[in-house]
Structure 1
Amino acid sequence: MRVRQAVTEDAERVAEIHVRSWQRAYHGLLPQPLLDGLRPAQRVPQWQRLIQQADWPRRATLVAEDEGDVVGFTGLCPTRDDDDDPEQVGEVAAIYALPAVWGRGIGRGLMAESMRTLREAGFSSAGLWVLEGNARAIRFYERMGWQQDGAVKDAVIGGLEVRELRYRCVFR
């Protein structure tokens, strides 16, 4: 597995991974009609824009390749949280891998490189948000050294009220 900066040509594959992982990871947590209605083509413009707007290393999309195929990605940026300083705190805004490669170390590789990149950008810590009840993701983050910091936010996704929990990682 190799992790590298995303290029614009990766946007379609990133959008596909985003949708396929949502459909699997959020089954039972988000409304099924919402998940069934997701289409990668709807997310391609967003990912093209985000990849083009990269400001390495503070704002970037990383992709994981396995045998030359992009199978996962992560989106990094300064924190978007009002209670944190975007000069000091980075954010893992997204981290997803194709369900077919779950359990093969792709996520660990992506997260390790994401944390290295955020440290390189000068951030002293980073945060991420996880959907309450997403036990698989929570176990993964905690194994990677992230800890819940007590912050929560409520949102409505597909007409369903959900709660997200913030996790934090302090760089040493």
Structure 2
Amino acid sequence: MPQAHLDGLTPAMRLPVWERLLGESPRRTEVLVAEVDGSVAGFAAFGPGRDDDVDPASVAEVSAIYLVPEVWGAGVGGRLMSAALDGLAAAGYEQAILWVVEGNSRARRFYERGGWRPDGAVQRDESDGFPLTEVRYRRSPHR
């Protein structure tokens, strides 16, 4: 993903999406927030799978997991992902999926350490004016 694109992103650009997701009734997307020393350090969003080739009754999707760089490597992401997977298991999901940018080796290593594996699905998106290839990962939410 080009750095110029990343530099141009602002929270205000994402606000309408989050207002819609969090305002749904019943809400399909759950969000967990990680705090460190009283400050938000990251979040995870998850809900029923959205892909055409999965059954949303049995396959959930972790649609986002982000941390502030200051807590990378401190275990916050692992605890946040574990909490999300616990929520999916408690909700009765049999499988969980997520999409990751193909070239994001740091994220891919994180997911693979947590038992996620590529399931063979790949998608290419050019909607932002540049090609972006994503790989789908899958695992059971149960430990």
Give me the TM-score of the superposition, normalised by structure 2.
0.92
Partner residue in 1 for 2:90 = 120
Partner residue in 2 for 1:164 = 134
Aligned-partner residue type, residue 126 of structure 1: A
Q: Is the 8 A contact 1:31 1:158 kept in 2?
A: no
Task: List gaps (5 residues or longer) in structure 1.
Answer: 1-29
Q: CA deviation at 1:54?
A: 6.9
Cα–Cα, structure 1 residues 104 and 54, in superposed 2: closer, same or farther, change >3 Å? Answer: farther
Work out the CA distance in 1 between the residues paired with 2:8 and 2:136. 27
Cα–Cα, structure 1 residues 63 and 54, in superposed 2: closer, same or farther, change >3 Å? Answer: farther
Q: Is the 8 A contact 2:117 2:137 kept in 1?
A: yes
Give yes or no for the alignment of 1:74 onto 2:48. no
Question: Which secondary structure does the structure 2 equivalent of 1:160 belong to?
Answer: coil
User: By percentage of residues, which structure has more helix?
Assistant: 1
Work out the CA distance in 1 between the residues paired with 2:88 and 2:35. 20
Moved more, 102-111 or 37-46: 37-46
Q: CA deviation at 1:70?
A: 1.0
Partner residue in 1 for 2:12 = 41
In the comparison of the two structures, how many residue pairs are matched? 142
CA distances 1:93-128 after superposition (whole Å, capped 9, x unpaired): 000001111111111011000100011111001000
Q: Is the 8 A contact 1:50 1:61 kept in 2?
A: no
Partner residue in 1 for 2:23 = 52
Work out the CA distance in 2 between the residues paired with 1:111 and 1:55. 23
Q: CA deviation at 1:53?
A: 2.6
**TM superposition outliers: structure 1 runs of 4+ over 6 Å:** none
Work out the CA distance in 1 between the residues paired with 2:37 and 2:98. 29
- Percent identical pairs in the alignment equals 50
Cα–Cα, structure 1 residues 153 and 144, in superposed 2: closer, same or farther, change >3 Å? Answer: same
Question: Which secondary structure does the structure 2 equivalent of 1:62 belong to?
Answer: strand
Task: List gaps (5 residues or longer) in structure 2.
Answer: none
Point out which structure has higher relative CO (alpha carbons under 8 A, 6+ apart).
1
CA distances 1:33-67 after superposition (whole Å, capped 9, x unpaired): 211211112222322332233757x6301110111
Moved more, 108-117 or 59-68: 59-68
Partner residue in 2 for 1:104 = 74
Give me the TM-score of the superposition, normalised by structure 1.
0.77
Q: Is the 8 A contact 1:54 1:60 kept in 2?
A: no
Work out the CA distance in 1 between the residues paired with 2:25 and 2:95. 20
Partner residue in 2 for 1:146 = 116
Work out the CA distance in 2 between the residues paired with 1:67 and 1:171. 28
Give yes or no for the alignment of 1:135 onto 2:96. no
